[in-house]
Chains A and B, each alone.
Chain A
Amino acid sequence: MKRAEWNEGLNHIDTDIIENYVEQKDKYISISKRKRTWLKIGALAACFCLIASIIVIPTAFKTEDPLYHPFNSDSNFILPSISVISTGTEINGKTHIVSGDNDTDNGSASKIPEGFYVHTVVQANVIEVLQDLYYTPSRGAAGKYRIARLEIVDPIIGEKMPREINLRFSGYSADIFEKHDTFIFSLNQIGIENYMMINDTKNEVEYFPDMFEVEIDILRYGSVIPFKDGKVDYSFGGSWSFPSNLSPLSGEYTIENVKKRIIDLSQNKEDYFVHLSTSPDYVTIDDVFSAEECKQIKNCILPTESNIFMHNIAVHSNRVVVNYTRVINGFETDEKIVVTVYSKDKGNVTREGEAYTPEELSRMPNIGEVLENINLDEIRSPRIDNLDGIKHKRVSADGCYRKREGKVYGIVRIIWWCDFSTVYSVGYEQDARYYLYDAEGNGKIVKGEKLEELFGGHWLIP
C-alpha cells in the first residue's frame, strides 16, 4: 500500500469515530491540566544558578558571503537583546517615531476584524539589491532580511505611491531579481515612513523610508510574479507557482493580461479569499495622528532608552488601524495600543494588555543577561536518545516579557532543532524549555502549560 492510499483511506473513516475522538480529546486535555505538578522551586533555583554561572560561548559569524545566514549553521545561537534608539528622527521637517519590526502576520499581530492589511499591487523594476543582511531591532535574528530598491513603473492597485520604495524580503535569493525584466508585486506597507533596521555586518542602525514587504497571503500562493520578454516567467525558483486565480480568461500570460485580471478581481467582492482592498492608500505618520484623540497618545509611544513601540498598520475602506506593541530591550511584551483613525477629525485609541509603568520599566528582570549567560551546549535535548532517525542539530534561546495582574514576568525559551534525513530542520516546540522570572530576577523552570494558565490561551513566544 502506498502512503497516499493510506492517507486517503484514513480520510474515509466513519464520521462517528472522529466525533467520538474529538470529544474524548477535549476530556483528556481538561483532565490532564488538572493533574499537572510543579517542579520544586529549590531544584529549579539550583538550575537557574547553574545556568547563570556559565560563561557564554559566542557564535562566529561569517561576513564574506552576503547570502550566508549565520543561523542556518550548526552552531547554537541566542537571539540577541537589542538596545533601541532613544530619540525620534527628524526627516524632511517631519518627526518620525523610531520603530522596530512590523509583524505582518494577520492572525496574531492584531484583532482587525476583516484581517485586511494595506496591500498595493504594483509593477516595478528592481534598481538595486543591497548586499548586506539586515534584521529588525525588536525581533533580532528571528527577522533577517535583504533590502531591494524598486522603481514603481505602474501602480496597478494603489494610490499616492512614492516613485521609489524599499522592499524587505526574506526567503528569496537576491539573484532572482537579476534574471527578470520586471515584476508584479503585491506589497504590504510597513513602518509608516520610519522603518529602521540593523545592518548585520556593521551593527549599525539604518533608516529605510517607504518600506514595503511582499505579502505571501495575497494573490494566493505568492505575491511576486516575474516577467521576462513581456510574459510570465515560470522558471522562477523554489515552491513558487503562478497564482491560479490570476489566470487570464483568454490569451497569453502577458503583463497586460495579468494586470487586467488583478483589477477585475479587485472589483469582485464575492471572492472571500482574494483580499484586494478597494481603497489602498499609502499611509503616513501624519495620517495616523491627525485626530485629537490620537494626537494625545503620540508622546506616550515615543521611544525611550529601554523601550520602543513596534507597529503595524491596516488600511480599510473607512479607517486606518495601527497597532503598537511595546518592546523592551528588544523583547516583545503583550502591551498593545491600537489607534483607529476614521478621518482627520475622528479617531480613537484603545489598549490591550496591561500597561507597563515607568517604575516597572526601571525594574525589569534582565532576560537579556540570562540569554547572554546561557551555555546552550550544556543543555540536553529530551529527544536525542528517544527517537530513532532524529538528530539533534542545534539549540536556540529567545525571550519576551509579560504582565498579569500587576506583576511583570520575563520568559526565556530554549528550543531544540532536529534534522530529519533530508536537509530540513524542525524546531520542537513541544520540547521547549521555559524559564519564568519575576521582577526581582528570581527564575524557575516551568512547563508550557503553566504559562498557558498564567497568561491565557495557547501561549508561545512569537
Chain B
Amino acid sequence: MKIQQKQTLKTPVNDEKIIELYWLRDEKAIEETDFKYKNYLFSIAYNIVHEKSDSEECLNDTYLGAWNSMPPTRPNILKAFLTTIVRRVSINRYHSNSRKGRVPSEMTVCLSELENFISDDNDVDAEFDAQRLGSIISDFVRGLSKRKRFIFLSRYYVADPIDTIAKNMNLSRSTVDKELAAIRSALKEKLESEGYYI
C-alpha cells in the first residue's frame, strides 16, 4: 500500500460548506471532499480490496455516489456518510474480485474470523433480507459496551487490521484479540437466536 500526501498550504473546508457545495451542484464539492477525506476513504477501500487501482476506482465511485445523493440527502456527519458509501462500493468490488479468486485483503482475513457462522459462498440468496439482518446487527452493536462496539465496527465494518485497532485504542494486540473473540461468540449466539445458521 503506497499512499503519499504532499504538504500543502490549503486548509480543509468545513463539512457544512462542502455539503452546501453539493447542493449547489458545484463540482468544487468533490474537490474539497477529495482534499479532506481522500486518505481516510482510500484506507477503507484499500483494507477491503487491497489493490491501489481498484481502491482509486472505489474512491471515484464514492464521490459519484455522494454527488448523486446530495441533494436530496443532507447528512449530519459527512465523514460517516462517505464511510457508508465507500464501504458499499468497496464491498461490491471485493465480491466481484473474489469471484475471480483474488483478494488478499484485510477483509478476507476478518471474514475468515467469522467462519463459525459465515460460509465461503459469495453469492446472495434471492430471498435474503438485508434490512432485517442490518436491524439485527444494529441491535447487537447497541448492546455492546462502547469499547467493544468500536472494536467490532473497526474490524468488521471498515476492516481495520487488528494492530491498527490496538494502536488507535492504545491497547495491546492480545487485548483486542480477546475482545474480538468475545464479540464473535456473542454475535454467533445472537444470529443463531434470530435463525441465521451457516
Cβ-based interface call for A2 (8 A): yes
Contact A462 B108 (CB under 8 A): no
| B183: min CB distance to chain A, Å | 14
Report A-chain residues with C-beta under 8 Å of the C-beta of B112.
389
Cβ-based interface call for A254 (8 A): no
In-complex Cβ contact of A21 among B6, B88, B135, B149 (8 A): B149
Contact B80 A24 (CB under 8 A): no
- Report whether over half of chain A's contact residues are helix, strand or loop; otherwise say mixed: mixed
Cβ-based interface call for A32 (8 A): yes
Contact B124 A9 (CB under 8 A): no
Q: Which of A237-278 contact B (CB under 8 A)?
A: 239, 272-273
Q: Which of A1-51 contact B (CB under 8 A)?
A: 1-15, 17-25, 28-29, 31-32, 35
Cβ-based interface call for B100 (8 A): yes
Contact A272 B134 (CB under 8 A): no
Contact A2 B119 (CB under 8 A): yes
In-complex Cβ contact of B77 among A19, A353, A461, A462 (8 A): A19
Q: How large is the interface on A (under 10, 10 to 19, 20 to 34, 35 or more residues)?
A: 35 or more
Contact B131 A12 (CB under 8 A): yes
Interface membership of chain B positions 96-138, coded 1 if the CB is closer than 8 angstroms to chain A and 0 otherwise? 0110111111001101101001111111110010110111111
Contact A4 B95 (CB under 8 A): yes
In-complex Cβ contact of B91 among A7, A31, A352, A424 (8 A): A7
| A113: min CB distance to chain B, Å | 7
Report B-chain residues with C-beta under 8 Å of the C-beta of A9.
130, 133-134, 136-137
Contact A420 B104 (CB under 8 A): yes
Q: How large is the interface on B (under 10, 10 to 19, 20 to 34, 35 or more residues)?
A: 35 or more
Cβ-based interface call for A406 (8 A): no
Cβ-based interface call for B11 (8 A): no
Report A-chain residues with C-beta under 8 Å of the C-beta of B117.
1
Contact A10 B7 (CB under 8 A): no
Cβ-based interface call for B5 (8 A): yes
| B98: min CB distance to chain A, Å | 8
Cβ-based interface call for B13 (8 A): no
Cβ-based interface call for B8 (8 A): yes
Q: List 26 A-B contacts (CB under 8 A).
A: A1-B119, A1-B191, A1-B198, A3-B95, A3-B119, A5-B128, A5-B130, A9-B130, A11-B84, A13-B134, A13-B138, A19-B80, A21-B80, A22-B80, A24-B150, A31-B170, A32-B169, A108-B5, A216-B53, A389-B112, A390-B109, A419-B104, A431-B163, A457-B7, A459-B5, A460-B4
Residues of A whose CB lies within 8 Å of any CB of B are 1-15, 17-25, 28-29, 31-32, 35, 107-108, 111, 113, 216-217, 221, 239, 272-273, 334, 336, 352-353, 386-387, 389-390, 419-420, 422, 424-431, 455-462
Known: A11-B91, A459-B4. 17 other contacts (CB 8 A): A4-B124, A8-B124, A9-B130, A10-B87, A18-B83, A19-B80, A23-B77, A24-B146, A25-B150, A25-B154, A107-B38, A111-B6, A352-B8, A420-B104, A430-B161, A459-B5, A460-B3
Kindly list the 7 A-B residue pairs having the minimum CB-CB distance in the complex, ordered from nearest: A12-B134, A9-B133, A457-B5, A424-B104, A19-B80, A8-B130, A108-B4
